[in-house]
Amino acid sequence: MDVLDAGRSERPGTVVADTTYGPVRGHGDGAVVAWKGIPYAAPPVGDLRFRSPRPPEPWSDVLDCAVFGAMAPQGHDTSVPLDPSMRIDEDCLTVNVWAPPPDGEPRPVMVWIHGGAYCLGSSAQAVYDGRLLVERGDIVLVTFNYRLGALGFLDLSSLSTANRTFESNLGLRDQIAVLEWVRDNIAAFGGDPGAVTLFGESSGGGSITTLMTVPRAEGLFHRAIVQSPPATSVYGAERAATVARRYLELLDLPAEGAGDLIGMPVDDLVKAGDLLVDEIPTRVPGTLAMAPVVDRDLVPHYPVAAFQKGLSHRIPLIIGSNKDEASIFKFMRSPLLPVSSEAVQQMFTGLAEDNPDLSPERLAEIAAAYPDATKSRGVLALSRDAAFRMPVLWVADAHSRHSPTWMYRFDHATPMLKAARVGAGHATELPYVFGNFGTLNPDPTFWLGGRKSTLEVAGRVQRRWLAFARHAVPAALDGSKHWPPYTEGTRSTLLIDNHDSVVVDPDHDMRIAWGDEVMGFS
């Protein structure tokens, strides 16, 4: 579609955009128009359960897009702030767009992948509301729902038969379907399909590091911002088959009865998935029950290994992690990350078993880099570095050999978060990126003050992210500290705090202790 034809006013406060599947009505206040709940795929129900996304049925009447679509089926984990009024349904494959009223001028596009350990979350979470970011950056913003947990990241392909096919990496396939939808439709909303920035956090960031090595995704996005990715939490087909068999056991199904999953109530599938989500990381700390799988089909290689072999897409990249990633998992008592000395020791045992070339002496060298390894502070640091900091460094080192790369570390925390010993914990940077503070109920962020400095930090983060989306260079152009590219020669890293600073190789000792060999579970 010619961008000059993008959008048309239907009545005051609304704009209709014509997509490849039918017209959609957005609602706005003059500054930003929002289209919510646009179907990008057919409902993945019945025979389409555990199958790749299919195109939706076209429609001819204008589809009113005033409210978010249903969120993907998932457990009710209180650690993720979700609106209790939100509907949960398998028919969840919808996309949301925020944009200035289309005026014929193509704008950069930012596509957000929400996190939640591949089993939780929704694009409707208030922290992801796109209005402020669009107003500040004059961009088009896309968020979306994708299948989660057992329905999205449990690989049942080993149970396929002549009569029933189960496909792998369904959540990733949904994400690719969204990127294809953006390519084909975003011009209708005033966006430039040739300037798409994919950004995401936690499992959303891990999805991006995986997609950056997926041939089918190449060319669908042109730059990436990756926040706190568990980049090594991608598993092999044999391990995936073992997890699939355990899932059937939790449902009292024999292997030959896998076909019964198609007709089972979705609540039963989610409950069994929740049990698995708790069980797997408890038995093998440092691993996830459900995550992307190297199926040699959609995902041909372990992503971090693919980065190291020079197989990642040639696009500019911003990547980083938070100073105190692990603290929030201890605060929530979550099994998703090992936060006790016993669990960390089990994690190291698993590393040794999964990496036969990893000697006890080598593990001892790593542990020696953490003088408080038996205390809470050292345990959290070890867990943080294994899950986030080292995978980020491995990816940045490899990608910077052929494409522009920038590294950050998010260090800022409000006085309240510091007092609670959360600090710059996992996901605490999210409101800084979107500008949406006060989305928790109640929200303790500013109980001890710090609002003014926090909003200043948020402004700098947003300006850098938006400059990258527009120019492929994160230049804030507002007098902020210059952010040089990351290379293996300098390892320049932007430390984001009350006052930004650029530090050369800030994690030198930790990086040397861990070494260059990629460690992970398969």
User: Does the pLDDT value for residue 479 go beyond 80?
Assistant: no
CA distance 128 to 122: 9
- The tens digit of pLDDT for each residue in 153-202 reads 999 999 999 899 999 999 999 999 999 999 999 999 999 999 999 999 99
Report the percentage of the chain scoring pLDDT > 90.
79
CA distance 143 to 121: 12
Q: Which of 285, 342, 337 is nearest to 521 (CA)?
A: 285
Residue-level pLDDT at 10:
66
Residue-level pLDDT at 102:
83
CA distance 490 to 29: 47
Model confidence at 6, pLDDT cuts 50, 70, 90, reads: low
Residue-level pLDDT at 457:
97
CA distance 169 to 255: 20
DSSP 87-138: -B-S---EEEEEEPPP-S--EEEEEEE--STTT---TT-GGG--HHHHHHHT
- The tens digit of pLDDT for each residue in 209-248 reads 999 999 999 999 999 999 999 999 999 999 999 999 999 9
- 263 in a structural domain: yes
Domain that holds residue 208: 3-514
Report the percentage of the chain scoring pLDDT > 70.
94
Q: What is the mean pLDDT of the chain?
A: 92
Residue-level pLDDT at 85:
74
State mean pLDDT over 307-330.
96
CA distance 419 to 404: 38
State mean pLDDT over 290-308.
96
Q: Write down the catalytic residue from 222, 426, 429, 492.
A: 426
CA distance 240 to 234: 10
Amino acid type, 500: D
Q: Which of 395, 398, 422 is nearest to 410 (CA)?
A: 422
User: Does the pLDDT value for residue 441 go beyond 90?
Assistant: no
Please tell me the total count of domains within the chain: 1
Contact 401, 304 (CB under 8 A): no
- 522 in a structural domain: no
- 195 in a structural domain: yes
CATH label of the domain that carries residue 263: 3.40.50.1820
State mean pLDDT over 493-508.
96
User: Does the pLDDT value for residue 76 go beyond 80?
Assistant: no
State mean pLDDT over 279-296.
94
Q: Find the farthest-apart pair of alpha carbons in the chain and give their distance in angstroms, rounded.
A: 71
Q: Which of 300, 302, 344 is nearest to 326 (CA)?
A: 344
Partnered with residue 294 across adjacent β-strands are: 236
Angle between helical axes of 266-283 and 237-250 (0-180°, round to 10): 120
- 520 in a structural domain: no
Show the 3-state SS of 387-442: HHHHHHHHHHHHHCCCCCEEEEEECCCCHHHHHCCCCCECCCCHHHHHCCCCCCCC
Sequence-distant (6+) residues with CB within 8 A of 74 are 88, 116, 119, 120, 121, 148, 149, 270
User: Does the pLDDT value for residue 356 go beyond 80?
Assistant: no
- The tens digit of pLDDT for each residue in 363-379 reads 788 888 888 877 888 89
Buried b (16+ CB within 10 A) or exposed e, 301-318: bbbbbbbbeeebbebbbb
State mean pLDDT over 109-130.
96
CA contacts within 13 A on the Cβ side of 449: 1
Model confidence at 275, pLDDT cuts 50, 70, 90, reads: very high
CA distance 156 to 248: 10
Question: Which CB contacts under 8 angstroms, 24+ apart, belong to 5-14?
Answer: 5/188, 6/102, 6/104, 6/187, 6/188, 6/189, 6/190, 7/33, 7/101, 7/102, 7/188, 7/189, 7/190, 9/101, 10/62
CA distance 362 to 357: 9
Sequence-distant (6+) residues with CB within 8 A of 301 are 213, 294, 309, 311
Instruction: Collapse the DSSP code of 146 into the 3-class scheme (helix H, G, I; strand E, B; otherwise coil) and give the result.
Output: coil
User: Does the pLDDT value for residue 497 go beyond 90?
Assistant: yes
Model confidence at 55, pLDDT cuts 50, 70, 90, reads: very high
State mean pLDDT over 299-314.
97
Residue-level pLDDT at 79:
55
User: Does the pLDDT value for residue 16 go beyond 60?
Assistant: yes
User: Does the pLDDT value for residue 509 go beyond 80?
Assistant: yes
Model confidence at 518, pLDDT cuts 50, 70, 90, reads: low
Q: Write down the catalytic residue from 168, 325, 327, 383.
A: 325
User: Does the pLDDT value for residue 4 go beyond 60?
Assistant: no
Q: Is 167 a catalytic residue?
A: no
Mean pLDDT lowest for which of 9-18, 320-329, 377-386? 9-18
Q: Is 228 a catalytic residue?
A: no
- 521 in a structural domain: no
Q: Is 160 a catalytic residue?
A: no
- 226 in a structural domain: yes
Contact 261, 156 (CB under 8 A): yes
CA distance 57 to 199: 29
- The tens digit of pLDDT for each residue in 397-431 reads 999 999 999 999 999 999 999 999 999 999 999 99
Query: What DSSP character marks residue 324?
Result: B
| Residue 257: how many other CB atoms lie within 10 Å | 12
- 519 in a structural domain: no
Q: Write down the catalytic residue from 157, 202, 312, 492.
A: 202
Q: Which two tokens stand for residue 103?
A: 């005026």
- 252 in a structural domain: yes
Model confidence at 20, pLDDT cuts 50, 70, 90, reads: very high
CA distance 334 to 502: 33
Mean pLDDT lowest for which of 8-17, 71-80, 509-518? 71-80
